[in-house]
Structure 1
Amino acid sequence: MTEIHTPRLVLRRWTDDDLVPMAEINADPVVMRLIGDGTVLDLEQTAEAIERWEEEWDEEGFGLFAVELLASGELAGCVGLTVPDFLGEVAVSWRLGRAYWGQGYASEAAHAALEFALEDRGLDRVLAVVRVGDAASQSVLDKLGMELDREMEDPEFGYPIRVHAIDLTQYS
């Protein structure tokens, strides 16, 4: 089982106990406002998403981790690697519940996922997508040392996005 420990977090595979807390995160319109078309997800949709994320682990050897607070065992959200169809390359992404914003958890978890991609999985390059105007996610990308690769429209939803990248030679 793949598990990563950071000073404050555990990144791990999904368990049945994660469904309800992740569904609560996905049901928050403030959390979801910059994800996809902004639609919240219910319990059933969250279960389907976790199932897809676990299938990606089985097929690709990477996927989205459940992010657990080391001190309390609470599920804070998810972070990890995925391959957006419109990019065709591995990208790091994250989604945390509002209670966990502004505490550095996203940066800590995304850094661990990026390290996992470049060092453990041997990827040469990793992307990240941020919606224009998402200052918090842009700040995470800046902390990771990711550089702007290109600007484009999201092919599914039509809003402007920025694609950032980092390769093994830039990673420290």
Structure 2
Amino acid sequence: MTSSLDDTSLDTPRLLLRRWHDTDLDGLAGINAQPEVMRYIHDGRTLSRAATAERLAAYRRHWDEHGFGLYAVQLKATGELTGFTGLAVPTFLPEIMPAVEIGWRLGRAHWGRGLATEAAQAVVRHSRTALGLRRLVSIHVVGNEASARVMVKLGMTLDRETVQPDTGRRVRVYAMDL
């Protein structure tokens, strides 16, 4: 369902998915500095605060360019930033283009509580009803079974296994028609 905050916010029983605020930088930088969180992201390295600021600016540009993007995910009960969930264009994997990817990243303290699935389900519904998308993909580095479980819970199925060109890491692409 759409929140009353603005037309790009979504809410679930426990979460608010919203556009990024300048005040999110420190929380996101803390998440991106966690080795456990980042081990399956890109080349597996953590990100500095400066690198996180660059990513945050890129997330905002993506929204402006495409009309959709990655949402900041906030716990309703506390207002804490848990990470992100949302949509991106996966240009890092040219063989599957054109495509729209659904993805997520949560801080370690928020794992194992169903939050990634809850947030991703809201994004899938929004993708179908408000954005009119017909297909979503999701990509994970082989070994990231927790992420694969979220993909399966969303109703996605394995489409292919391939190699990410810029890192050489094996990845699995899951897909679903909407």
TM surpasses 0.5 = yes
Q: Does 1:124 align with 2:130?
A: no
Match of 1:148 in 2: 158
Alignment of 1:25-44 (within 5 A): 25-44=31-50
Shift of 1:25: 0.2
Question: Which of the numbers 71, 79, 87 marks the counterpart of 1:81?
Answer: 87
Report percent identity of matched pairs. Answer: 50
Which residue pairs with 2:54 in the alignment? 48
Shift of 1:42: 1.1
* Alpha-carbon distance in 1 for matches of 2:138, 2:68: 15
Structure 2 CA distance for aligned equivalents of residues 81 and 15 of structure 1? 18
- Return the offset for 1:114: 1.5
How far the C-alpha of 1:92 sits from its partner, in A, is 0.3
For the residue of structure 2 that corresponds to 1:126, the secondary structure is strand
- Name the count of aligned residue pairs: 168
SS of corresponding position for 1:66: strand
Paired with 2:49 and 2:134, the residues of 1 have a C-alpha distance of 36
State the SS of the aligned residue for 1:68: strand
> What is the alpha-carbon distance in structure 2 between the residues aligned to residue 149 and residue 118 of structure 1?
20
Are 2:65 and 1:59 equivalent residues in the alignment? yes
TM-score by length of 1: 0.95
Residues 148-171 of structure 1: CA deviation (Å, up to 9, x unaligned)? 111111111112111011112xxx
2:143 paired residue number = 133
What are the Cα deviations for residues 80-131 of structure 1, in whole angstroms up to 9, with x where unaligned? 0001112321000000000000000011111111222122110100000011
Q: Which runs of 5+ in 2 are unaligned?
A: 1-5
Partner residue, 2:3: none
**What value does the CA root-mean-square deviation take over the aligned residues?**
0.8
Deviating above 4 A after TM superposition, structure 1's stretches of 4 or more consecutive aligned residues are none
Q: Aligned with 2:65: secondary structure? A: helix
5+ long unaligned stretches in structure 1: none
For residues 149 and 24 of structure 1, the distance between their equivalents in structure 2, rounded to whole angstroms, comes to: 33
Determine helix, strand or coil for the equivalent of 1:62. Answer: coil
The alpha carbon displacement at 1:71 in A equals 0.6
